[in-house]
Structure 1
Amino acid sequence: MKKRGIGLGCSWYGTGYGNGFPDVSSAFVEIHDDGSATVLTGAVDVGQGSNSIFAQIAAEELGLESQDICVYSGDTDATPDSGTTAATRQTYNTGNAVLKAVRQAKSSLLDYAAHEFSCPTSEGIELKEGFIGVKGDPSRRMPLADMVFQARLKGERFISAESSTARSTPVDPETGQGAPYWPYAFGCQMAEVEVNTETGMVRVLKVVAVHDVGKALNPTQVEGQIAGGVTQGIGFALLEELELKEGKINNPALSSYLIPTALDVPSIEALFVEDAECTGPFGAKGLGEPAMLPTVAAIINAIDDAVGVRITSLPATPEKILQGLAEKREGLEK
């Protein structure tokens, strides 16, 4: 017999390394005389799309397109340290460092342009769609590339190196209050599962995932992060188990350490709530690990809803479910 159930899982997650550990990211930026810009950062893009985000941040601030930004990352010989790609920190931490560096280089450029256009202050200068000029006066503008090229002829370069440190605080030992991580991400997911009471097999039919992302700088990547997190959460809940004996891993291959395949991925409805984080780059915060956490609780609760078996250790294997069903029958018989 197959029974269906629905479960809910919620999470909050503090991003970054946490108070008491240096959580610093750095970035180097240069605006070039071909109208492009280069961003150097030690952050490594492992598939989550951080390089695209850094390009978007720089392009937005400079009035350029993302394709005008070259992001050079992860070279310990040439790029500044940006910490590890972990703790859901790159969009927030390194994104802030990139934004600070871009703004500093931009400030130098605007000051130079104000002088060239005989504008009283740099506040009267704007960068827009690859052009630089006096606000409100289309006749007094020129391609950004031309302005930077002229500056180069005079020995000027628009370069900046900046760092960003996570804004965490210690925890009060008396009250337990504080912000040991910052910012915090929140999520809620619902899962529908089907449990085979004869085999103990669980099939996840659908997951609806709603996450607070601050401001979604790239909605497509946000949806991808949520889908990837949910898929990893399914593996966490139902499949993945490291077998250790006397310090030796007994299942080191993917034939014995099981992970979800494409056929195991259910319908995933990815939704996000935008509430801009005032300390994040253009309001953004991270979403890497938070997308995985509620999935586990939602699936375990859905199994309980379907067959009345509470799983208390992961993964929820068929053997554990069958054992739970047997114990439930024995309890009823008594």
Structure 2
Amino acid sequence: MLKRGRGIALSWYGTGYGNGFPDVSVATVELAENGEVLLRVGATEVGQGAKTIMPQVCAEVLGMHSDQVHMICEDTREFLDSGTAAASRQTYNTGNAVLKASESFKKALLEEARVNLKLNSTASLEVEDQKIWLPIFPSRQTTFGEIAKQLKSEGRVLAVTESFTAQTVGMDPETGEGVPYWPYTFNAYGTEVEVDTETGRVQVLQAWCVQDVGRAINPDLVEGQIDGGFVMGLGYTLYEDLGVKDGVIKNNKFAKYIIPTAMDIPAIHKYIVEDPENTAPYGAKGIGEPTMVPVAPAILNAIYDAIGVRIYTLPATPDVVLKAIVEDRKAKAAAKGAGANG
């Protein structure tokens, strides 16, 4: 018999290393000899979108298109450390370092323009599309390329480095007080499942993912993160089992280690909630791990809604679910028999 059920789960997640550990990111913005903008930052790209988000933050400050900012992040000889691509920290932590460096770079660039244009101050100067000009006297203008050429003739390089350290407070071991993480992200996920009570097979039919992102600098990347996080959570909940026994992995190949395929992915309805974080770059928070956290409880709650049986072992493979159903039937039958005898 096929039975359907729905379940929800809520979660909150602190980003960064946390608990008072120094969480430092560093970024450098530099004017290249050809007038291009170089962003040197150790925000490793592992598919989460660092190479998209970081240039966007820099470009927003400088009035450019993100394609005009060249990010260097692969060669550790070219930049200082920005910490790991972990703990959902890069958008917030390194994004803040990029924001600070870009703002300082802009200030230094305007000062160079002031000298080149023979102005009294940088007041009212505008920057857009690699040009700097004075709106009240438009003929007074220069370009990034012209400034770079002047710097080269003088044997100088315009490069600004800034760092950002997240604000966290270690937990007091006696009282438990502290602010171990900042900022936090929040979400609410719901799922609809179908359970075959004869085989124990669970199929997730639909999912609803409501995710707090602070501000979505790039909505497409946010939705991609939600999709990826949900699918990873789905695999963790229903399919993936290393089968470790005595320190040895039994399911050491994909023939035995089962992961979700395209046929197992439900319709995922995504809802982005924007509540800008005032300490974040343009209000944005990281949402790497948070998109996975509520998946398992939402699915398990839906299974319970469908068959009235709680599953406490993951992954909830058909044999696990069927065993729980059978044991529940036996327990109910025994209780019924005891009641009759009483």
- State the TM-score bracket (shorter-chain normalisation): over 0.9
Instruction: Tell me by how many angstroms 1:301 deviates.
Output: 0.4
1:114 — aligned with what?
114
The aligned amino acid for 1:308 is: G
1:55 equivalent in alignment to 2:55: yes
* Structure 2 SS opposite 1:140: strand
The aligned amino acid for 1:185 is: T
Label 1:206 to 1:136 Cα distance change in 2 as closer, same or farther (>3 A).
Answer: farther
CA contact (8 A) 1:57 1:95 kept: yes
2: CA distance, partners of 1:248 / 1:300? 28
CA contact (8 A) 1:9 1:188 kept: yes
TM-score normalised by L of structure 1: 0.95
* Structure 1 SS opposite 2:291: coil
The aligned amino acid for 1:195 is: V
1:319 — aligned with what?
319
Label 1:209 to 1:112 Cα distance change in 2 as closer, same or farther (>3 A).
Answer: same
* Structure 1 SS opposite 2:213: strand
1: CA distance, partners of 2:113 / 2:248? 64
* Matched ranges for 1:167-316 at <5 A: 167-173=167-173, 175-316=175-316
* Structure 2 SS opposite 1:293: coil
1: CA distance, partners of 2:73 / 2:57? 15
TM-score normalised by L of structure 2: 0.92
Q: Which has the larger radius of gyration?
A: 2
Residue deviations 1:269-310 (CA, integer Å, cap 9, x gap): 111111111111111110111011111111010000111111
2:340 — aligned with what?
none
Stretch of structure 1 that moved more, 141-150 or 286-295: 141-150
Unmatched 5+ stretches in structure 1: none
Instruction: Tell me by how many angstroms 1:174 deviates.
Output: 5.0
Tell me the percent identity. 49
The aligned amino acid for 1:41 is: V
Unmatched 5+ stretches in structure 2: 337-342
Label 1:238 to 1:111 Cα distance change in 2 as closer, same or farther (>3 A).
Answer: same
Instruction: Tell me by how many angstroms 1:33 deviates.
Output: 4.5
Instruction: Tell me by how many angstroms 1:71 deviates.
Output: 0.9
1: CA distance, partners of 2:67 / 2:35? 11
* Structure 2 SS opposite 1:188: strand
1: CA distance, partners of 2:80 / 2:7? 45
1:17 — aligned with what?
17
Label 1:178 to 1:121 Cα distance change in 2 as closer, same or farther (>3 A).
Answer: farther
* Matched ranges for 1:55-74 at <5 A: 55-74=55-74
Aligned residues: 334
2: CA distance, partners of 1:78 / 1:10? 42
CA contact (8 A) 2:112 2:147 kept: no
